[in-house]
């Protein structure tokens, strides 16, 4: 999750219209709907 957060933060800080740190909600998921191992992270930005 640190990598995803770092990428979003750098994008927001360097974007010419945003120029600020973002807020985010991160939810880690470890399985798919079929209950197979599928680790990934969902991020919601305001």
Residue 11 lies in a domain: no
Domain range holding 27? Answer: 22-46
Quickly list H helices, 1-46: 2-14
What span, in angstroms and rounded, lies between the C-alpha atoms of 25 and 4?
Answer: 11
Q: What pTM was computed for the model?
A: 0.54
From first to last of its 46 residues, the chain has per-residue pLDDT tens of 788 888 888 888 888 888 787 888 889 999 988 899 999 888 887 7
Judge whether 31 lies within some domain: yes
* Structural contact between residues 21 and 44, judged by C-beta atoms closer than 8 angstroms: no
Q: How far apart, in whole angstroms, are the C-alpha atoms of residue 28 and residue 13? A: 24
- For the chain, the domain total comes to 1
């Amino acid at each position: 999750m640190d990598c995803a957060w770092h990428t979003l933060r750098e994008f927001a800080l360097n974007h010419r219209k945003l120029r600020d740190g973002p807020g985010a909600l991160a939810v880690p998921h470890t399985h798919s709907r079929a209950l197979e191992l599928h680790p990934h992270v969902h991020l919601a930005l305001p």
